[in-house]
Structure 1
Amino acid sequence: MLDQLEDLELTGRTDWLAVPLPTTRRQAVGEAVRAARAEVAWQLGLLPAPVSAREEAERLGQAAKMAAAWPSAISLRPASEAEILWIYGHSARRGVTEPLLPEGGKAHTVRGRGRGVAALGQVLLSEGSVASAEGERPAKLRSAGQVFGRRWLQSTTEWGTSYQAMLALAEMPESFLFPGSEYLVDLDGFPYPVDWVVRLDVTDGASAEAKSRRQARELANQYNEYAEETAGVPAAVDKSAAGLDEYRERLTASATEVEVRAMVALCVWGSTPDEAEQRATELAGHFATSEYVFARPRGEMENLWYGMLPGARTPKVMAQYAQYLLARDFAMAGPFSAGGLGGESGPLYGLQLAGGGLRPVFVDWARGLRDNVSPSIACVGEVGAGKSFALKAAMYLVLAAGRMLGKPRSRGRAIVVDRTPQQEWVRFARACPGKTDVIGAVFDSLAVGERTLATRLLPLVERGTLLLADRGFPSFALFTAATARGAELLWRVSASFTLPVEKVLADGTYLSHLNGPRGSGVTVRVVEYTVDTADEDTGEIVSSELFCLITTLLDPETAPAAELAELYARRWTSETIYRSIKVEQRGGRTATLRSNSPDMVAQELWAMLCV
């Protein structure tokens, strides 16, 4: 399994929030000068100037104040240095085998000279190029359109080459239906991973309202321009005016309302250009049905790639596709969520195929007992989809967990209600490690007799089992059917049974036979006894009624009569269980089952049997 995981592109959704720290005009000018110097130094092969300890302390203080002011309803934590390095490194290595995340918590020894980012390596970006095989001449292009039709980015690093396709959100529906308009949530529904970034520029309500007034004046001027037109004012102008009026009304309805300028970009990738192209086309086509238009501008793949990096300037192409929304509209269209199976610990249970690519599923089935929660699992699928296999794998992991040599009862335990006609869970349980106890139970309406119900339990009887039964069950048909399963029988019979003495054995028991149809019969051994008890008040010895048992164990030496009588007495423990279910678990003699339908009654009874 570990060898297979090494060859798979395992993914996991992590959401990052990058917020620019406040910068004064003087600081902005200074940073621009330092950036220019760093660019010149880079061209000359020199290291950039280090970040001073004073500036680093100042920025860390600003970040701490910003984190303290963040709403407590949203749980955030600072990204580690290793995670920040991974964000930039992952952008260049999408789709290839990535190195392990560097260990965090180690203090850096060289400040700001780029030594800490050495793990990033170098990346070669080439928009629309296709790498040719070694020694092979590049294929000639038939037309210039083939060059401009390559809307992907080839990223080459020491870890391999990947092809990435960028998409920008160009249009959104005029109105939103919530729920149903959450396009970011849909990204986790694809069978491959999708990276996304949303650049936000938030404007206060007063400034946004002033801008909307200017737009209203411009629309009013358009009415004057069409005053002499015989066709009148176009419908689009009336529609824009009505929409602007609603926008201004909502903008001024609350003093806390803001305008959000959102710039959304997506990225999919593949090991070949065709794979990246196919995923990008599928992604754009999926959202086109909901009036979300994702554009793939030619010649702008590299700019969009830089636009998805935190700290980089917003490229012009992203600004061109900016969407202006009120906070409520942005919240309805842009909520995001992440879903996953399993937890952070436990054995490897399987792979999550849907929800953004392959993800390992780790499940610790004993966690619910430690954390006082229910580790529930539901397997839903078509016939043959593997539901039984998944449940059996979970059961095996439970039985295998916690076992320690020399410590009995340290193995995990599982209770299974097997309602399959073939008793497949019974066979699986007997093949699992450890001890397996199979308890059969059947129930039906009052119109179904006990002997009929007992016949349904016979498939659970194994060869070599000693099967006990009360005097209401014996019949020739049921007796012979049970012996055909290879079991040994010890059944009590009523006085209505005629058992002629054929041979008296040494221990006082005797051989007889049960009569069947058409002169058939079966030889049995008869054990008769009474139970003597002392009266609590008088101390007088009182004998019970005569107990008559028939058994297929014919040899008195291997099955002494006293042991058989003692074994039959243990059958009364089942009556104690029946009383517990009927009275104690149900809530008393006068209580009834909570369920109101036959199927739910059966479910409630199975639950009682499992307790």
Structure 2
Amino acid sequence: MEHPIQNLCGHLLFSRDGTVWATWRLQGQAYGRRAVAEKEQIRVLHQMLYRSLGGESLHLGFEVDTDPVQVIRDMLRGLNHPLEELPEWAAEVEATTERLETDLPLSERTYWLSVPLRNSGASRLSEPLRAGTTSLLNKLGAPRGVPATAILADRLQQAAEIQALIPGPFNARPATAAETVWLYRHAQTRGLGQHDTWLPPAPSTDELKAAADMTEHELAAVQHMASPGRIGRLILDEAAVSDVPADGWRKGFRARLRRLLPSQRKVLKIVDTDDDTLVSYQSLAVLAGTPTAGAVFPGTEWLGKAEDSGVPVDWAVRMRNTAREEVLSRNQRAVKNLNDQYMQREGEISTGSHELDTVAAALTEYQALLAKDKLEVELQTITFFATSAATREQALINGATLARFYNAFGHPLERPLGEQQDAWWAMLPGTAWPKKFNDLTQISLSEGFSAAVPNVSSALGDGRGALWAVNETTLATSVVMVDLFATILANFSAAVAVAGELGSGKSYALKSLAGALVDRGARLVSIDRSSTGEYVPFGRSLGSCTVAAVLDNLDAGVYLEWSLDPLRMFPGDEGSRLAQRLLTPLLSIVPDSDVELALTYTTDPAYRAKHDIDSLQTLTEHLLDPARHDLPGANELGRKLRGLRTKSYARVLFDQTLPALDLWSSRALIFTTHGLQLPTRAELLNEHLFRKMDPEKHFGRAMYALLMSLARAVAFADPDELVFFVCDECHHITASIEGEQELEIFVREGRKVGAAAGLGSQDCENDFGSPTLRGLIPYRLVMRLTDENLARKALEWIGLEPTQEHLDEITGDLSPRDPADPDGKVDPERRGEGIFRDSYRRIGRVRILGPALEARRIAYSTTPRASSSKLLKQPTSPSTAAATPPATRPATRSDATRPATSALEPGTRTGRTTSRVTPPSTTSPSTTSPSTTSPSTTSPATPIRRPQRTSTASTGTAAAVLDKPTRVRNQAQAADVTAAAAPEASSAPGAALPPSRRKKASPRRSAAPTSTSHQPEGEPQDRDEDQG
């Protein structure tokens, strides 16, 4: 069968019956998780669209698989450096390509509007005549003709007038000829997965600007060059009668008879004559009714919820717009007819006029609605749905599933028998009004039909940059990309905050974003106070990392390697300022005192240069030598510094053997602060508590202020370079007044200098600072919070009403523990779930992906591994020994002294139990060889195929470092991060989705998952704090 397209010129379609159609692509409106008032605004926006379209129109909502190539293009957009200079990002992009092609099916819904342009005046005769002549010439083999330039210019003017009436938020863009061809090709290949036609890329901004600057005649001339494309000839097989039974014609006779049943004939087989291997089976349905009792908005979005049906579905609405005056005139005639019927039934006794009363009430209400709004119009709509599959059976199942879905809330669907082909054609532009389905026409006002809210979008993120998560707001999953630098360039704040309880995946989410930003050329600064030093292996996996410890952390294998003496790090004025800010609160120096004046004077760059003072150590020696100065208060200041120097925790400031930290030597800078004590807010606000505060807390308070200043120094150094400052468990920053002020300054002024902050904690109200600071964070992610009070705060912070439904989702449906799992772990398919609000204030449900490279996923995860530590052997207690039968009593130290000819020789039978007692020297855990149990000597994991990195990412394990009394450098850490974490490779974080086309339902969905992806369960259950 031949398609109705005769010519394609840009977004104009010249059909064979003489009509000209103009097609636009519309932008879906963010709708899902919004307040009722915002939803009402979007409904009104749809109402305005329908009122603006006089006459006939075709509205399309086609679901399309996302082209992996387009995702890769978006990941490569916005780079500030050539890709050759970013090998880490190139490796991640390459791994993402494989992930998209195999494990991450994505789709989106595209919206289109096609309007037949009216033939007025002479064109009513000339257009059909021209179309007939062209068709005849084509059949005779004459060269294909194109419309004249004057005709094109007139039609473009008509289309421009219609486009001007479309409400601006829909961002109507004229479709290209290639996109019109895609609409037809997609309709032919529905349900064929990778064989479906990819949607052509949209025109670039430059191309759109160039087209906008053209005159009508220039644009018409250019449109002549647009190819109509090759759609091909089709075979439409109603009920798929051409299918040969699997057992042949004779043996498959019964199966063939079953296919004659009406329920088995509601399918359409589509074959391209040029490639008969690509066969699409489709089941078409038409809306047959709406709820008679009506519905309350919101809650009536029956067309916008098509994705929730669980099957891939396209829809089309054939619409006719009738003016209010014509409808009122027609209704007046209906009232007269109704009065006549009342008179005719006046003598009836049994039924009387009950039916007429119902009709009269409906007509009265209809008239009242038209009367109250002079802009109201009547809409006659026929709504079509198309489900598809690669097999006949699955197409029928999908069609029945869709029908059950809509029947469940009062919108019955009719799957026309013998008219599947007609329904298929009715869903394409260029075809005539489907008169066969006039009996299924639904009549409503624009106010009523707009409540269906069809043109909605669940898109989240920035559309380019780092691939951070998958959007699971609907069953049609899509990608969530974040580009903080682009947000900054758009003059908006780029702060990110993640709220979630321990183990919810909060830290993993921050690491995933930070790692991607560093790979794209940004710098990273992080303060890590965890006992395990979780950000150390993460930072070293990035290839270029400096770890600066404030205190030795034996558990994490992190030692003092760098001095944080501000006078050594910054020889000039910056060093003086930082030294004064550090020492004033640390030494409890009173402002305007002699001690304060001495500090100011002796840290001045000129004074330091004159007296060879280049560190806090030499400053202390200078102050303690009265022969070198006669400053009032200098001696007291020197004694205070000498007292501080004797403290073991102050070594990071006074140890001259430590090299001064170079803040710019690596792209990742990690400060570890485990063991550093901090004051509480109560201790800072209450004078009597402040005076009794431990000196270590004074030191911790001052050091955190210094670290924040260092982070700001790095971030504010170069406005053209993005710096991402990660403050996980940020309550240790915002607990102090100074820390909160520093963080607020960072967020407030970061936009001007290309700096962004990433915060993480459990309590978004108390831990993310003041209301002003919380309000300056545009990117907000809420992960699992099982405490209802914390969940309520998080909902209000993210912009959702704390309804019971939302509370249940946050507390029980975000990465819930799997009761079927013997260990009570979270289903791998559900790890990393959260509610995300992007910088456009759109809100949706997401699942954090993590990096595509397996080695990175292992390094980012902090889920505790199974314990392999040695069990301390204890003697058996007397009570246990008395209650334990001799044959099963465990061996004790006294067993080692028993003679070899014990009553329990190996293999000796005792009653029904045969027991073998092995000498403790071979079985006791306390004597087990370290080579078999130590995590540091575990065999390396299978090598990961990836490009060669510019620098090796390695970490040291605690077991390896404990044998070294001296300090070790980052570059000398022994165990590679992939080898250290190799035992957990099978449970490493990842983001593989099921290989099927759609996201399979987990406990919150309708079906079980079909694959086992590797993704982090989230954050470990650490003894002290969240290890994310």
TM-score with structure 1 setting the length: 0.69
Does residue 435 (structure 1) correspond to residue 545 (structure 2)? The answer is yes
Alpha-carbon distance in structure 2 between the residues aligned to 1:249 and 1:235: 21
Alpha carbons 2:311, 2:402 under 8 Å: kept: no
* 1:310 partner amino acid: P
Aligned to 1:129: 240
Please state whether the residue corresponding to 1:15 is helix, strand or coil: strand
Structure with greater helix share of residues: 2
Q: 2:456 aligns to what SS in structure 1?
A: coil
Q: Would you say 1:162 and 2:314 are equivalent positions?
A: no
User: In structure 1, what is the equivalent of residue 436 of structure 2?
Assistant: 317
Q: Is residue 2:392 matched to residue 1:273?
A: yes
- 1:144 is displaced (CA, Å) by 6.8
Query: Which of 394, 397, 420 does residue 513 from structure 2 map onto?
Result: 394
Distance of 2:442 and 2:496 partners within structure 1: 41
Displacement of 1:248 in angstroms is 0.8
Q: 1:605 to 1:274 in 2, by over 3 A?
A: same
Higher relative contact order (CA 8 A, sep 6+): 2
RMSD over aligned Cα, in angstroms? 4.9
State the alpha-carbon separation in 2 of the partners of residues 607 and 373 from structure 1: 15
Corresponding residue of 1:151:
266
Corresponding residue number in structure 2 for 1:531: 624
Task: State the match for 2:412 in structure 1.
Answer: 293
What is the rounded CA distance, in whole Å, between the counterparts of 1:82 and 1:325 in structure 2?
A: 35
Shift of 1:281: 2.3
Q: Secondary structure at the match of 1:20?
A: strand
Is residue 2:694 matched to residue 1:575? no
* Counterpart pick for 1:200 among 319, 337, 347: 319
**2:560 corresponds to 1:465:** yes
Shift of 1:543: 8.4
CA distance in structure 1 between the partners assigned to 2:386 and 2:546 by the alignment: 52
Question: Structure 1 unaligned runs (5+)?
Answer: 403-410, 441-453, 469-491, 493-527, 554-559, 589-596
Q: CA 1:61/1:358 → structure 2, altered by over 3 Å: closer, same or farther? A: same
CA deviation vs aligned residue, 1:347-368 (integer Å, no higher than 9, x gap): 4445545636353444334333
Deviation at 1:323, TM superposition (A): 1.2
After superposition, what is the alpha-carbon deviation per residue over 1:479-513, rounded to whole angstroms, capped at 9, x for unaligned?
xxxxxxxxxxxxx9xxxxxxxxxxxxxxxxxxxxx
Q: Secondary structure at the match of 2:111?
A: coil
Give the alignment of 1:556-571 within 5 angstroms.
Answer: none
The verdict on how the C-alpha distance between 1:336 and 1:217 changes in structure 2, with shifts beyond 3 A counting, is: same
Match of 1:11 among 100, 107, 113: 107
Counterpart of 1:330 in 2: which secondary structure? helix
Residue number in structure 2 paired with 1:604: 769
Alignment counterpart, residue 172 of structure 1, candidates 278, 283, 290: 290
Would you say the 8 A contact 1:380–1:387 is kept in 2? Answer: yes
The answer for the alignment partner of 1:86 in structure 2 is: 182
Q: In structure 2, what is the Cα distance between the partners aligned to 1:92 and 1:122?
A: 10
Distance of aligned partners of 1:109 and 1:212 in 2 relative to their CA distance in 1, 3 Å threshold: closer
| Amino acid aligned to 1:433 | G
TM-score norm. by structure 2 comes to: 0.43
| Alignment of structure 1 residues 52-91 onto 2, 5 Å | 52-72=148-168, 74-91=170-187
| Residue 22 in structure 1 maps to residue 118 in structure 2 | yes
Structure 1, residues 76-108: CA drift from partner, whole Å, max 9, x if none? 222122222222222212233245556767999
- C-alpha separation between the residues in 1 aligned to 2:354 and 2:258? 42
Where 1:61 maps in the other structure, the secondary structure is helix
Name the residue aligned to 2:965: none
Q: Structure 1 residues 184 and 32 mapped into 2: Cα distance closer, same or farther (>3 Å)? A: same
Deviation sequence 1:403-440 (CA, Å, 0-9, x none): xxxxxxxx432547777x86645543444332254778
Once the two structures are superposed, the pairs formed by residues 369-448 of structure 1 within 5 Å of their partners are 369-374=488-493, 389-402=508-521, 411-413=522-524, 415=526, 424-425=534-535, 427-437=537-547
Structure 1 stretch 300-309 or stretch 273-282: which is displaced more? 273-282
What is the match of residue 372 of structure 2? 253
Select the residue among 217, 222, 227 that pairs with 2:341: 222
2:422 to 297, 303, 307: 303
Is the CA contact (8 Å cut-off) linking 1:270 and 1:276 kept in structure 2?
A: yes
SS at match of 1:86: helix
Give the gaps of 5 or more residues in structure 2.
1-95, 212-218, 564-585, 587-619, 662-694, 710-733, 743-761, 778-1028
How far off its partner does 1:306 sit?
A: 0.9
Q: Could you give the per-residue CA deviations for residues 58-88 of structure 1, whole angstroms, max 9, x where no partner exists?
A: 2123223333454545432221222222222
Change (3 A) 1:464 1:424: closer
C-alpha distance after superposition, 1:285-331 (max 9, x if no partner): 22223211222111121111111111211112332211111121122
- Look up the equivalent residue of 1:168 and give its one-letter code: V
Deviation of the 1:18 alpha carbon? 1.3
Provide Cα deviations, 1:19-42, integer angstroms capped at 9, x if missing partner: 221212642344344555566666
SS of 1:117's equivalent in the other structure is coil
Counterpart contact for 2:470–2:480, Cα < 8 Å: yes
1:192/1:357 contact within 8 Å kept: no
Q: Distance in 1 between matches of 2:401 and 2:431?
A: 28
The 2-side partners of 1:599 and 1:109 are apart by 59
**CA separation in 1, counterparts of 2:416 and 2:637?**
100
Shift of 1:574: 5.7
Could you tell me how far 1:119 is from its partner in structure 2?
A: 2.6
Q: Matched residues in 2 for 1:111 and 1:540: separation?
A: 84
- CA drift of 1:278 comes to 2.6
Pair 1:354–1:87, CA change in 2 (3 A): same
Identical pairs, percent? 25
**Secondary structure, in 3 states, of the residue corresponding to 1:214?**
helix
8 A Cα contact 2:117 2:155, kept in partner: yes
AA of the residue aligned to 1:575: A
Paired with 1:539 and 1:4, the residues of 2 have a C-alpha distance of 66
Counterpart of 1:2 in 2: which secondary structure? helix
Change (3 A) 1:551 1:121: same
- Counterpart residue type for residue 158 of structure 2: Q
Higher gyration radius (CA): 1
Query: Measured at CA, do residues 225 and 271 of structure 1 come closer, stay the same or move farther in structure 2, by a change above 3 Å?
Result: same
Bigger shift: 238-247 or 167-176? Answer: 167-176
Task: State the number of aligned residues.
Answer: 513
In the other structure, the counterpart of 2:328 is 209
CA offsets per residue over residues 575-606 of structure 1, 9 Å max, x none?
27559985656679xxxxxxxx9984344399
Whole-Å separation in 1 of the counterparts to 2:471 and 2:542:
26
Residue 95 of structure 1: aligned partner:
191
Distance in 2 between residues matched to 1:332 and 1:463, nearest whole Å: 60
Displacement of 1:126 after TM fit?
A: 1.4
Name 1:450's counterpart in structure 2.
none
Contact 1:182 1:333 (8 Å CA) reproduced = yes
* Distance verdict in 2 for CA 1:144–1:2, change over 3 Å: closer
Partner of 1:116: 227
